[in-house]
Structure formats: structure tokens, C-alpha cells
Structure 1
Amino acid sequence: MKLTATSPFGEEFSGTIDAVVIDTIEGRRVILPEHGDFVGIFDLTEITVIQSDDARVVWAAFGYVHVFNGDVVVIAQMVDADAEAVQGFHDRITAGRSSSSSRFAVAIDA
């Protein structure tokens, strides 16, 4: 099966894999060959890519995983092997969300 993980910053991973493990808002998914079609969304996730006897970890923030016809596509705002960079990106975006949400709530209450 093929996995492609990409963001506006570019493609982080593309290749043939044996399995992938990804956390979605509905829980952890282990995607193996012949997995049924599936769409899941995530805020921040660790993606474990398994190839032969090796595992590689990449991180992604704000995106979705789509399994279709045996191929897996991850599209996110950021995908990178650097966990700290993706976590920092996630934190900056969520901090902006909470401050803009509170401004909106104040405007409604006024």
C-alpha cells in the first residue's frame, strides 16, 4: 500500500509501506493492507510508518487521513519529522483560536 503525507510546506513522505498507525479524533487507527475506505480528522497526531522491519515517525497538525482503494493520504497544515516544530505550530494556532474565540464571546455578550 502507498502512503503520501503532505502539507502546504511540501511532501514529507511518499512511498510503499506495510502499515501506518495514526491517532484521529475518534481514536487510534492501525491501517493495514486491504483496510476499508476511511476518512478521519486530527488536531495533532503522531504517525508511525511501518516499512519491512523499520518504523519511522512523523508528526502532523490540523488535517485528515483518507484511505481509498488501499492507498493512504494524509493532508495537514504541517507534516514533519520534527515533533517540536509540529507541536509549536499546533500551539501557536490553538492559542490564536482561543483568543479569537474569547473576543467573539465578549462581543456577543456585550
Structure 2
Amino acid sequence: MKAMTETLAKILQKKKYKSSDIIYLKADYNYTFLQFKNNDSFTSSYTLKTFQKALEDNENFKRIHRSCVVNMSYVRKVSNDETQLILRNGEKLSISRRQKRSILSKLEV
């Protein structure tokens, strides 16, 4: 766990960001795409699971799909059919059926 946290810390330090600046993380096989605020992004060779474990102490990050973890503080609203999260930057991310209930309850709090 310590090594995973250090890896995330190195990436954030390199980009001069904090974990709260991450909007979402998206898996692409064994790579992870990190989207930061201000439209900055970064692709890492670490898996999404690795990053999720490093962020598990931060309650704002929620897995919404098998391939996506989102910082819930950047969610603007849920689509009318409740299948997507609409982020502050206008991007839409799909919600899995399995995660839907817990995500909607987290947004209602």
C-alpha cells in the first residue's frame, strides 16, 4: 500500500497537483488515464486498481464503473435516465448498473 501511495504522490508532485485536483481516472487495459482540472491529463502504466487503493482513504473518490473512478466533488448532476454522471466540465461518464444505487445515495447526502 505504501508503494502505491508513493507512486500517486510522485505523479501528483510531477504535475504539481493534489489528489483533490483529479477529476477522474479511467482504465485502458494496464494503463490509467488521469484527468485533472484545467483540462490537464496524464497516462500512467499503473492499473486503475493500483490508483484506487492509493485513494481509498479519500471519500470523494468512488468507482462508478469497472473502468472508471470519479472524484464526486466534480459531479454536477446525474443524467435524467440515471445512467451517466455529468461533470462540471461537461464530460459524461457511464454508471454501471451494479454501482448505480450507491452512487445515487452518495450524491443525495
Give TM class, smaller chain. under 0.3
| Structure richer in strand, relative to its length | 1
| Structure richer in helix, relative to its length | 2
Quick one: higher RCO (CA 8 Å, sep 6+), 1 or 2?
Answer: 1
TM-score by length of 2: 0.24
Structure index of larger Rg:
1
TM-score by length of 1: 0.24
